[in-house]
Each structure stands twice: as C-alpha cells, then as structure tokens.
Structure 1
Amino acid sequence: MTLPAGPNDLDAALLERALRDAGRLAAGSTIEGFEATRMSEFGGVNGETYRLHLRASGAAPASVVAKFPARSPAARGVAAYQHWYEREVRTYRELLPWGAMRAPACYLAEIDETGAFLLLLEDLGGLRQGDQLAGCPPSEAARVLDDLARWHARWWEGAAEAGDWLPRTTVGLERARPVQGALGRAWPIVREAYALPSALDPIAEVLVERYPELLERASSAPATVVHGDFRLDNMFLRGSGAEVEATVFDWQFACRCRGVYDVAYFLGLDLTIEDRLAHERPLLEGYVAALREYGVAEYSSEEAWDDYRLCLALGFAVFAIGGAAEQHDDRMRRVHEAGLHRLAAAMVDLDVGAVLRGP
C-alpha cells in the first residue's frame, strides 16, 4: 500500500476499505468523500492530525481522525531516528488490542519502509479534552492512576513479551549519549529562558553528568510497557472526579521502563505545585496498591518513591530538550514553561539530587 503523505493524498476508497475491514461501515454503505480539518488536540510537532468529516451513503461514522507524518523534514528525521511512528503504529496493532487501557478505536495502522505512516482512529471530539495547563484535580488523578496501574500490571516484568521493537526508556539506551549531549546544550537555554530556580542547578548538573546511567536504572527490572508521554494533553475525559474515565492517545513514546515513569510524568506535569505537595505521596501509594490488586505483589511503596524521584528528573530532561527547541505555537511554549517549573519545584522539594547521585 502506498501511504498518503497528508489528507490531499488520501482517497475515499482507502477510507471505505479501512472502515469496512474494521466493521464500522454497514453492508452496502459507501464513502463518497470527506472534508479535512486540521486538529491541534490530537497532534503536535511530531505528526499532522486531521478530523475527516465523512460523506457517506448509508450507515457510517460521521467523522474519523487521521494521523500522518510531520510536514517538517527535521521533525520527520527525529521521528525516524527515535522510531516514534513505528512505535505508535505497532502499539495500536499489537498492544492496545489486549484492552488493558482505554484508547481510541483504531481502524487502520500502517507504516512503510520509507517511514510514512497512517493512523485512522475513532473521533472522540465529543469528550472533554485534558488540559495540562489547567491541571488535574487530585480526585481525577487517583482514578487515572488506577487505570494506569492496570495497564502496567498487564506487562509487568513481561515487557520483552511485548516486543524488542520497544526501546528501553523513551529515548532508547543506545541513543543515551547523543541525547545526553542534547540535554547538556538544552539546560542552560531553558534555565535562562524560563527563569528556573537556582536551587535546581546542582540537581541538573548531576542529571546531565549521569544521564546514561540514570536511564539504565529507570529501565531495569521490574520493567513494564509505559506510555512515555502520559499527561493530560494526551487524554480525552468522560465524567469527572472519582468517576472520570480517561482515553489515552499519542503512543509515539511507548517503551519499556519502570512504570513509575508514567506516574512521575503525570503528577509532576499535571498537578499544580500546591496539589502535588498535598497529594503526591498518597496518590503514589494508591498506584502501588492498585498494582497489587492487579497482581503485582513485589513492589514496595519505598521502592516506588525512589523510582518516582528518579523519574521526575528524567521527565524534566525530556521537557528541557523540548523547551530549548523553537516553539511552534504559544500554547506549546506555555506548556513547556508550566511543565518545567512544576518539575523543577518537585525536584527541589523532594531532594531528587540525592537519588540521582545514588547510594
């Protein structure tokens, strides 16, 4: 199959075949055409995402979501280097069908030898979009972490079963040295650009110096399959409070790592500083308790706490590299600013430097 580079190359016949194969097109129904509208809530700098409003004869979805490679050659190059498109396609095809995490229904997931890819997904635009800037109420965070624990428990110490195509950590251990160099260049840029606190300086220095070793620690046993970019902007939400249901998308960073990486990323980025200080420890303990309910017996709250502090720093590294790059819109700049300040506060508050330096 020759994959389209964008909506202008996509034809109705491909949509019709995909929806029919997925059981979403009634017998005798056809797709006659579509109008494409570029989306922001499903996309980002690493891909181009469109809502396709379908014109159909007979019963068919009113719309679907189509995700294509980024238009920027530089962004596509980074995605190829990190295998982001392959990871997302294979996660939809091979891992999410196990059903341990709510995700958009996938009607088509294809990638070719050139790195071009196409996802056709259920349109969840009728649900509430998560907003990292607004933050997550602690009651909703607790429910989201319970769902996350179910996913992690499914792959606990069985991440290799998921496939060798999943790297260890979001950046991959084999790419640790180049990414360490990028982090070293990014740190002074974001320190000044976002006016980060001077108390972070010694922690950041250790993070840069020991980055490859820290990745090794974070991906050692017990490892599981993590989402890798587990934050509100990558969730659609149904309901609220303790009854909220999160549907998670954007799986390009999926990898093998300690499950608390997702927890630290989520709480560090999506809770306000005040809510994190008041609730992070009980929320983490709730996650560990949920793991036990789902069958993970040998992972203590003390081990989770050390992993949490380590992974806050690794999440900061991701946001520092992203924040040092050119921001493609004002909201992305504000997301990086808020995220870096929240993570910096957590790293200082919790003496993360002591964990990074090791015993």
Structure 2
Amino acid sequence: MTNPHFHLPRTLEEVDAAWLTAALGQRFPGVEVRTVTFGTAVRATGTKLRMLLEYNDAGHRHRLPATMWFKGGYEAHSDHVRTSHARESLFYAEIEPLGLVNAPKCYFASVDDDSGFGVQLIEDLLVRNASFGDARKPVSVAAATEALNQLARLHAHRWNAPDLHRLGEVGGSLATDGIVLRIMRDGAWEKSMTAPVAAALPQAFHTYAAAEAGMERLWALDRASQHLCMVHGDAHPGNLFFEHDGTPGFLDWQRFMQSDWAHDVSYFLIGSMDAEECAAHERDLVAHYLKALSAQGVAAPSWDEAWLSYRRHAMYGLVWNVVPPTMQPAEVCEMEALRFNAAVKRLDTHDALFGAA
C-alpha cells in the first residue's frame, strides 16, 4: 500500500496533472503527467473518471497507458461506505500484483488510515478490447470453469490465514452494516413477493421475517466456518469482464472481504449461468473448484461439507428480489431474482440452513 500519509484528493477538483504526477511517481520514478483530459464519468457506489493522460519521456519509458480510470468515493453516500473503498485499495495494492485472478491492473492505490478514504488509478480495460458481463448474457460452462480456477487461486492464497482480520469482520459490510436487510424492510420484501418471479421461491421464504432469519443464519454459519478465505464478495455478472478470447476476469473489488469460500462460488455460478445449465452442471463445477483448491495445497472441504455450504449460500442471492432499479436495470434484477429463487428451491436451501447439523 502506498504511504498512508500521501495526500489523497478530497474533491474531484484536486485530481489534476500535479496530483497525478505525485501519485504515479510513488511507483514510477520520474514520471510527469503534463496534461490530463477527463472523459466519461460513472457515478454509482463510487465515483469513476476516465482520463486521457500525456506524459514526459519517463512516463513512456515506464509504458504507462494513455488512458486510465480514477476511482474514489465522492458521492453523497460515500461516507457510509468508506470500508468498501479501503478494501478495494487493499486488493489492488497487495493482491492484484500477484496475478491470482484476471483483474484490471492498478497504477496507484492508497487509503488514508485516519479517515478510511481510499482512491485508485486503474487500467482502462477498453484498451484490452475487453467486453463486460451482463446477466442477460449467461456465462458458458467453459467460462465458469476458468473463473472457478481463478477464485480457487484467490481463496487458497490466505486460506484460514491469521491476518484475515485485515479485511474486517466475516461477511464484511454486507452483514455488519445492515445494507442487505435494510433494503428488504419497510414492506419491500412483501411487495417483491407479488412479482411473477417470486412464484419460483418456496413459500418458506415469502415473509420478511423468514428471509431475515435465513440471512442471519447464513452469516452466523459463516462466522463459525472452518474454511475462511479472501473472497471477491460481489461476483455477479455485472462485475465480470471478458478478454477477446473469452477468458473471464473480475471487476469491482469494493466488497473484497473474508468469508466462507462458498459465498463467491455459489453467488457466481447461480447468478452468472443460465438457470437450467447451472442446475445441470453445478455439481461438476463445485467438484472442479474443490480439485482446483486442492491443487493449490489447501486441505479442501469434503464433498458433503462443500455441497452443504454451496446450498446454504444460495440464500444471499435472494437479495436480488429487492435490488432497486436505481442500482441495476429492472430486467437484470428480475433475471437474477428468478435464478436465485429457482436455485433456493432445487437446492432446498431452507433445509440446508435450518435442518442440517
């Protein structure tokens, strides 16, 4: 991680050629950004600005790219999600350079230790001619297999490591900040149960009280897990990208956290694949993941343990029933809700959570 005392811009107006020169100079000595031109701006959980940069000769010797993205928390809600930006900076500063997963390159990442404010300078994947994931374009079995290989390498790197506490509490802000349950309350869950996609969900989860109990039970089981590791935390299709040859990669590491391995595997497979294809191949894919994990030197869970955890973690994806269209397109929310509702039924997630030892 870059010097925690390095000044981070607190307003977007401070992101200028002089600051970019100082930031890039932390890793690339002698570089000078002579001009910066701002292009596309994306305002969501965080703030992303696409930049066109002109360098001195040292910048070209370091082979710095002509475009990159500046990312930080400059939205009205950013003070409430500081941990997400800090975790993303931690990933890009310490984990991305290891090459465990296909992820955007990072040229600068830092967090202010006092405030938790974090920013990154990240590769522009359009230069790679990458395409971006979308729930409306399900991933193939081959792509899912390669993604699982990457997740196995990531998970194995700090499997049950004593320093996982650096990533905060198990389950991250998804559990500790009440974000998930908050968007389910105030009648939102009951209203979602009147939608056509809810017909695929077992009646056992049709009340808010039952859904809340399922989420709380899942997080309690994760806190007691004997198979904790670093997880992406939000591996849905919108956080995937694909090389021109179809190789997948993972974007948006704001939910980087410690949890049970199945949080990533279940959320990724169920949420990214066509429901029927997932149902037909998920057992083989989970078995492949376990084999890939063992190949990294990890004492992988037994099949029975693993399958039970996979079934349990389908629970988390039920949040798609209440994700507002201001966060994701309505068609995407409906498609994801249908996938997870159907998975919870076929996997008997309720029994996995409450009926199994």
- What is the CA deviation profile of residues 104-153 of structure 1, one whole-angstrom value per residue up to 9, with x for unaligned ones? 22222123344543211122212222222211011111111111111111
C-alpha spacing 1:342/1:303, structure 2 compared with 1 (3 Å): same
Corresponding residue for residue 132 of structure 1? 135
Question: 1:52 corresponds to which residue?
Answer: 51
- Asked if the contact 1:65/1:123 (under 8 Å) is kept, the reply is yes
What TM-score, normalized by structure 2, do the two folds share? Answer: 0.85
Picking from 344, 348, 353, the partner of 1:347 is 344
Asked whether the 8 Å contact 1:6–1:68 carries over to 2, the reply is no
What CA distance in whole angstroms lies between the structure 2 residues aligned with 1:37 and 1:164? 35
One-letter code aligned to 2:331: R
Judge which range, 254-263 or 189-198, deviates more: 189-198
Mapping for residues 287-298 of structure 1, pairs under 5 Å? 287-298=289-300
> Counterparts of 1:136 and 1:174 in 2: how far apart (Å)?
31
Q: Residue 336 of structure 1 aligns with which residue?
A: 333
Does the C-alpha gap of structure 1 residues 312 and 198 become closer, same or farther in structure 2, counting only changes over 3 Å? closer
Instruction: Point out where structure 2 has 5 or more consecutive residues left out of the alignment.
Output: 1-5
For residue 101 of structure 1, report the CA deviation from its aligned partner. 2.2
Secondary structure (helix, strand or coil) at the match of 2:69 reads strand
Cα distance, 1:295 vs. partner?
Answer: 1.3
- Give the match for residue 274 of structure 1: 276
CA contact (8 A) 1:224 1:256 kept: yes
User: How far apart are 1:358 and its partner, in Å?
Assistant: 2.8
TM-score, normalization: structure 1? 0.85
1:199 Cα deviation from its structure 2 partner: 4.0
SS of 2:33 mapped into structure 1: strand
User: Which residue identity lines up with residue 118 of structure 2 in the other structure?
Assistant: F
Residue by residue, what CA displacement relative to the aligned partner does 1:188-229 show, whole Å, maximum 9, x if unpaired?
232235642164331354332243232021241111111100
Is residue 164–residue 229 contact of structure 2 (8 Å, CA) maintained in 1? no
Change (3 A) 1:77 1:8: closer
Q: C-alpha distance in 1, partners of 2:115/2:325?
A: 26
For structure 1, the residue ranges without an aligned partner over 5 or more in a row are none
Matches within 5 A, 1:236-275: 236-240=241-245, 244-275=246-277
Matches for 1:1-359 after TM superposition, within 5 Å: 1-5=6-10, 7-23=12-28, 27=30, 30-39=32-41, 45-58=44-57, 59=60, 60-71=64-75, 73=76, 75-80=77-82, 83-112=83-112, 113-125=114-126, 126-158=129-161, 160-171=162-173, 174-175=176-177, 179-180=180-181, 182-185=183-186, 186-193=188-195, 195-197=197-199, 199-205=201-207, 206-219=210-223, 220-240=225-245, 244-317=246-319, 319-321=320-322, 323=323, 325=324, 327-328=326-327, 332-359=329-356
Aligned residues: 339
Distance 2:332 2:111 in 1: 30
Q: Give the C-alpha shift of residue 238 in structure 1.
A: 1.8
Task: Calculate percent identity across the aligned residue pairs.
Answer: 26
Structure 1 counterpart of 2:3: none
Contact 2:321 2:334 in 1 (8 A): no
Measured after TM superposition, the shift of residue 339 of structure 1 is 1.0
The answer to whether the 8 Å contact 1:52/1:66 transfers is: yes
**1:53 aligned partner, one-letter code:** L
